[in-house]
Amino acid sequence: MRIATTTTTTSWVQPSPLGPLSITTTPAGVRSVWFAGTGHESGPPDTVVAQAFGEYFSGDLQALDSLPVDLDGRTDFGRAVLVALRALGSSRLTSYGELAAAIGRPAAARAVGRAVGANPVPVVIPCHRVLAAGGSLGGYSGGLDTKRWLLAHEGWLPQPTVVASGTPAPTRPR
């Protein structure tokens, strides 16, 4: 039986080219990132996290790599999937099957897909870099337009001309 503990959290809405993001942090790290910025603001932004997101969206693709994340409440399997996914960094794309093999569970691609789909910190843990079998985009918690934009921002797809919110996309420094 797991006993819940009270943790101090801070939440804020972070501007981004994709529209506002709701970000929550705890002393252990980034706890959640939600697209559409509908979260409750409970304090000033964590300046390190806010700066890292700004740098990422300005073209520093490694800016989020060193942020600590708080995966409290995840199952051992879900945590293993997310840790393996984060270890890929910004250097490559992967598939659900490859990720399953990386955690020593090659027959668990569907379960890996569910764990990736439940990622509480998208962008920080780059679930947008996971593709379905055959290289198709698969799904994404922020929607496929957001996934396409993120992959284009990172140089994996051609740069879109508008973001998911319908506003002109910023150009990425190359």
pLDDT digit string, tens, across residues 73-131: 999 999 999 999 999 877 789 999 999 999 999 999 999 999 999 999 999 999 999 99
| Distance (Å, whole) CA 107 – CA 89 | 24
Give me the pLDDT at residue 164, please.
53
Domain that holds residue 89: 76-153
pLDDT band (50, 70, 90) for residue 71: very high
Does residue 98 form part of some domain?
yes
Does residue 116 form part of some domain?
yes
Write out pLDDT tens, residues 130-159. Answer: 999 888 998 899 999 999 999 999 999 987
Count: domains in the chain? 1
pTM over 0.75: yes
Closest CA to 64 of 88, 41, 42: 88
CB atoms under 10 Å from CB of 76, counted, come to 7
- Name the one residue in this structure whose structure tokens are 């797809």: 157
Query: What are the DSSP E strand ranges found in the chain?
Result: 10-14, 21-26, 29-35, 94-95, 130-131
Using a 10 angstrom Cβ sphere, with 0-12 exposed, 13-18 middle and 19 or more buried, the burial of residue 154 is: middle
Does residue 173 form part of some domain?
no
Which active-site residues does the annotation give? 127
Does residue 46 form part of some domain?
no
CATH number for 106: 1.10.10.10
Does residue 44 form part of some domain?
no
Does residue 29 form part of some domain?
no
* Section 15-21 average pLDDT: 93
Strand partners, 3: none
Does residue 69 form part of some domain?
no
* Section 57-86 average pLDDT: 96
Using a 10 angstrom Cβ sphere, with 0-12 exposed, 13-18 middle and 19 or more buried, the burial of residue 103 is: middle
Does residue 57 form part of some domain?
no
Strand partners, 162: 168
Give me the pLDDT at residue 158, please.
87
Give me the pLDDT at residue 163, please.
55
pLDDT band (50, 70, 90) for residue 3: very low
